[in-house]
């Protein structure tokens, strides 16, 4: 059964049960009230009858006139008077015999009532001024119960049917309102495959579970896209980048073994093989490191860390690599609240990403100073790394995140083209983004945004 049908049935069941109970409560309460009220009216008439016929026979006509004027005549109203002898009542010939249980209640408790279909009976035990005891009973047709309660019952049943119809319509409307965003997400998800992982779900404006679902799914797509891109790049580049040093190593070994050679030639061959093996090792490590950044966000330990301390450590590390590198830090935009400088991340990976970018800036600046600025908004930590080096040709900007891509003006500088793609993957897995702007022969600026840490890890 589809979920929206289950929701409809659940809503209908809940609201219908509530309406049914509510109608039943109303009917039961009014019915009980009508019974109690009618029995009380009959009891009053029984007491009036006793006063008229037993204690004031001389004033009977006057009292009867007052009763007719001020007391409403009930439908099928009948009075019964039974003398009490001992512990029983005397029933004359032709008089209606009352149920024994009802008579015993009147004798022992003094008052009592019972019902026979639509005819209600109420009576009292009465002692006259002369000391005689009687049972006085008045019966009548409860018109309110036999007519008005039937009308009320029909009205409640009709209302219940209309309420059921209304509940069905409202349930369908609510269900469509709730299910439509989910159905839209399903349609959008159906369009996404390994060939177009760049597609993302539209984020609803409402701040509800559907918005959270779309954000969570988009976050998952970000990780999947990173993983797929990394694997694709690894496969496509590994064969190309590893083939050259392997070919050189095999060729040099074949050359050395093809015939006997002198000591110097063997030494030179071994040196060439060592050089190519070292290149192979560096490229293999770079490829493996790049592949490892396509993780699922759970296998790496994430901690709360301060970005200002991270940048200070990056500066120290870069200058240890090359004491000639010049780095200037700008902390003038630091927020007063230091909590805004904290992010949730892996210290080693973020340190590696920033180090790669800063080293590139220093390397391509020919000894010029690289500037690092740190600031924060209410939602993100902002890091800007700016150099005044050789820059990147504008037409080559779309390829800067491709592994092993190197700009055409970097031939005089050592490198493998793995640093920036690696840094991008690391920033992306921390839910951040990286923006690179560059002008050839004027320098490059890299802006990094990382969400600030909120709540416990």
Using CA atoms of 429, 364, 358, 356 in order, give the dihedral in degrees to the nearest 10.
40
Q: Which pLDDT value is given to residue 118? A: 79
- What residues pair up with 343 in beta bridges, in sequence order? 305, 452
For the chain, give the number of residues.
457
* Cβ atoms 245, 275 nearer than 8 A: no
Pairing between β-strand 327-333 and β-strand 370-376 as defined by DSSP bridges:
parallel
Q: Which pLDDT value is given to residue 296? A: 46
Burial 422-434 (b: 16+ CB within 10 A, else e): bbbbbbbbbbbeb
H or E segment to which residue 125 belongs? strand 119-127
Q: Which pLDDT value is given to residue 382? A: 94
Q: Which two tokens stand for residue 297?
A: 């966000």
Residue 90: Cβ within 10 Å count = 12
Q: What is the pLDDT along the chain (457 residues), one digit of tens a residue?
A: 566 667 777 777 888 888 888 888 888 888 778 778 888 888 888 887 787 777 766 555 655 655 555 466 678 888 888 888 877 888 877 778 888 888 888 888 888 888 887 788 988 888 887 778 888 888 888 776 666 677 778 888 888 888 888 888 887 777 777 777 777 778 888 888 767 777 787 887 777 777 888 888 888 887 777 667 656 655 655 665 567 678 888 888 888 888 888 888 888 888 888 887 887 776 676 566 655 554 444 455 678 899 999 999 999 888 887 888 899 999 988 888 888 899 988 887 888 889 889 988 898 888 889 999 999 998 999 999 999 989 999 898 888 887 677 888 887 777 767 778 878 888 888 889 999 999 988 899 999 999 998 766 5
Q: Which two tokens stand for residue 19?
A: 């309406």
Q: How are strands ordered across the β-sheet holding 111-116? A: 88-89, 78-85, 133-141, 119-127, 111-116
H or E segment to which residue 237 belongs? helix 209-257
How many CA atoms lie within 13 Å of 157's alpha carbon, on the beta-carbon side?
A: 6
CA distance 70 to 236: 107
Q: Which two tokens stand for residue 146?
A: 């036999």
How many CA atoms lie within 13 Å of 277's alpha carbon, on the beta-carbon side?
A: 9
CA distance 297 to 418: 21
- pTM, rounded to two decimals: 0.45
Beta-carbon contacts of 170 under 8 Å, excluding residues fewer than 6 positions away, are 11, 15
Q: For residue 72, what are the CA distances in angstroms to 49, 180, 199, 265?
A: 14, 63, 83, 136
Of 443, 431, 285, 233, which Cα lies nearest the Cα of 350?
Answer: 431
Q: Which pLDDT value is given to residue 295? A: 46
Q: Please name the residue that has the structure tokens 């059964």.
A: 1
Q: Which pLDDT value is given to residue 447? A: 94
Residue 321: Cβ within 10 Å count = 12
* Cβ atoms 368, 326 nearer than 8 A: yes
Q: Which pLDDT value is given to residue 456? A: 61
CA distance 434 to 449: 7
H or E segment to which residue 226 belongs? helix 209-257
3-state secondary structure 3-42: HHHHHHHHHHHHHHHHHHHHHHHHHHHHHHHHHHHHHHHH
Domains of the chain, start order: 3-149 (3.30.450), 209-292 (1.10.287), 303-451 (3.30.565.10)
Q: For residue 292, what are the CA distances in angstroms to 88, 101, 223, 345, 426?
A: 104, 92, 12, 15, 10
H-type alpha helices, 55-133:
60-70, 100-109
Residue 368: Cβ within 10 Å count = 14
CA distance 42 to 141: 10
Q: Which pLDDT value is given to residue 4? A: 61
* Cβ atoms 200, 192 nearer than 8 A: no
């Amino acid at each position: 059964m589809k979920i929206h049908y289950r929701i409809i049935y659940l809503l209908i069941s809940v609201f219908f049960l509530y309406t049914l109970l509510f109608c039943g409560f109303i009917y039961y309460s009014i019915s009980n009230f009508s019974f109690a009220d009618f029995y009380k009216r009959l009891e009053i008439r029984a007491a009036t009858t006793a006063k008229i016929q037993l204690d004031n026979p001389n004033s009977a006509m006057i009292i009867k006139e007052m009763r007719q004027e001020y007391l409403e005549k009930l439908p099928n109203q009948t009075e019964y008077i039974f003398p009490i002898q001992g512990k029983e009542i005397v029933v004359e010939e032709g008089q209606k015999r009352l149920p024994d249980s009802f008579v015993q209640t009147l004798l022992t408790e003094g008052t009592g009532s019972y019902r026979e279909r639509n005819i209600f009976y109420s009576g009292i035990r009465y002692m006259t001024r002369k000391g005689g005891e009687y049972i006085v009973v008045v019966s009548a047709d409860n018109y309110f119960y036999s007519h008005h309660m039937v009308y009320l019952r029909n009205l409640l049943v009709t209302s219940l049917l209309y309420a059921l119809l209304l509940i069905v319509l409202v349930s369908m409307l609510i269900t469509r309102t709730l299910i439509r965003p989910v159905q839209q997400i399903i349609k959008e998800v159906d369009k996404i495959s390994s060939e177009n992982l760049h597609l993302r779900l539209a984020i609803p404006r409402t701040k509800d579970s559907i918005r959270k679902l779309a954000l969570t799914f988009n976050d998952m797509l970000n990780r999947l896209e990173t993983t797929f891109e990394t694997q694709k790049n690894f496969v496509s580049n590994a064969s190309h980048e590893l083939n050259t040093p392997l070919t050189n190593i095999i060729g040099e070994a074949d050359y050395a073994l093809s015939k006997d050679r002198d000591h110097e030639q063997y030494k030179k061959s071994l040196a060439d093989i060592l050089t190519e093996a070292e290149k192979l090792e560096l490229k293999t490590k770079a490829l493996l490191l790049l592949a490892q950044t396509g993780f699922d966000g759970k296998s790496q330990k994430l901690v709360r860390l301060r970005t200002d301390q991270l940048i200070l450590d990056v500066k120290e590390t870069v200058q240890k690599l090359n004491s000639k590198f010049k780095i200037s830090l700008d902390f003038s935009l630091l927020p007063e609240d230091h909590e805004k400088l904290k992010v949730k991340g892996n210290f080693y990976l973020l340190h590696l990403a920033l180090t790669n970018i800063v080293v590139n800036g220093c390397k391509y600046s020919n000894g010029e100073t690289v500037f690092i600025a740190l600031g924060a908004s209410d939602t993100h930590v902002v890091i800007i790394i700016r150099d005044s080096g050789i820059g990147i040709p504008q037409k080559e900007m779309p390829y800067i995140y491709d592994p092993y891509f190197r700009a055409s003006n970097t031939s005089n500088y050592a490198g493998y083209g793995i640093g920036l793609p690696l840094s991008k993957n690391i920033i992306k897995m921390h839910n951040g983004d990286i923006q690179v702007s560059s002008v050839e022969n004027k320098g490059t600026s890299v802006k990094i945004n990382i969400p600030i840490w909120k709540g416990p890890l």
